[in-house]
């Protein structure tokens, strides 16, 4: 994990900390068993492994559990996603935040999520990413961010990592220069950030910043 993300992750853990026992998770009876997720309450949250949380993270809110339970497990899920230790795609993980209507959550939770998103984006100016991982992070943030272009400002910082990342991101999504097609299949047509990102990639100042 990029060490620059640790303070924001610590903030997430503090903001989402819950007193008492872990919530009992139940899934849709047609596709899960009553005892399938009992293990999630068997140990402290920070001790749950990626294997133990994988199925829950993939199905959370849509077919398993409810928003309150998801908010309990979210800091650990995000931590595992940031460590790249999770079999579940980052885009799926962060898409759950939007499905959970995060704008209705307490302000301290919303602010912690926003600070984490900003922390991830800030690393785009300091760390050279593999093009696929960079595109994955951009799409993951775009699953819930209110203003994705603003969040991507660190890519215009003119540092050496920022210029390399920006060039790679543009090249990776080269078809978007003349069509609305993006490389990442997790961009849904009903996600407004999809079009915002395409327009951002086409902006002259973005192309100039890439050198």
* Structure tokens, 25: 């998770």
pLDDT given at position 80:
95
Residue 101 backbone zone (phi > 0: left; psi -120 to 50: alpha; other: beta): left
pLDDT given at position 34:
61
* DSSP 8-state class, residue 24: P
Q: pLDDT 10s digit of each residue in the chain, 211 long?
A: 889 999 999 999 999 998 877 787 776 666 666 677 888 888 899 999 999 999 889 988 888 778 999 999 999 999 999 998 888 999 999 999 999 999 999 999 999 999 999 999 999 999 999 999 999 999 999 999 999 999 999 999 999 999 999 999 999 999 988 888 899 999 998 999 999 999 999 999 999 999 8
Contact 36, 27 (CB under 8 A): yes
pLDDT given at position 33:
65
- Sole residue written with tokens 């849509």: 62
Q: At what angle do helices 160-172 and 131-142 cross, to 10 degrees?
A: 80
* Structure tokens, 74: 């979210």
pLDDT given at position 210:
92
Q: What are phi and psi of 27, to 5 degrees?
A: -110, 180
Backbone CA torsion sign across 2, 170, 192, 56: negative
Per-domain boundaries in the chain: 1-117, 126-211
């Amino acid at each position: 994990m990029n060490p620059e993300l640790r303070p924001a992750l610590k903030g997430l853990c503090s903001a989402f900390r819950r007193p008492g026992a872990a919530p009992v998770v139940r899934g849709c009876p047609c596709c899960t068993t009553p005892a399938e997720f009992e293990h999630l309450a068997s140990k402290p949250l920070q001790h749950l492994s990626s294997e133990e949380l994988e199925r829950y993270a993939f199905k959370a809110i849509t077919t398993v559990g409810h928003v309150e339970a998801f908010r309990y497990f979210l800091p650990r899920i995000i931590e595992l996603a940031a460590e790249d230790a999770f079999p579940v795609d980052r885009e799926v993980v962060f898409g759950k935040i939007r499905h959970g209507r995060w704008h209705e959550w307490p302000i301290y939770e919303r602010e912690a999520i926003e600070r984490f998103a900003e922390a991830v984006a800030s690393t785009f100016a300091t760390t050279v990413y593999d093009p696929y991982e960079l595109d994955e992070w951009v799409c993951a943030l775009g699953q819930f961010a209110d203003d994705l272009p603003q969040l991507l400002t660190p890519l215009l910082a003119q540092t050496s990592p920022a210029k390399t990342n920006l060039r790679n991101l543009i090249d990776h999504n080269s078809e978007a220069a003349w069509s609305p097609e993006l490389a990442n299949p997790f961009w849904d047509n009903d996600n407004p950030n999809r079009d915002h990102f395409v327009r951002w990639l086409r902006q002259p100042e973005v192309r100039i910043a890439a050198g």
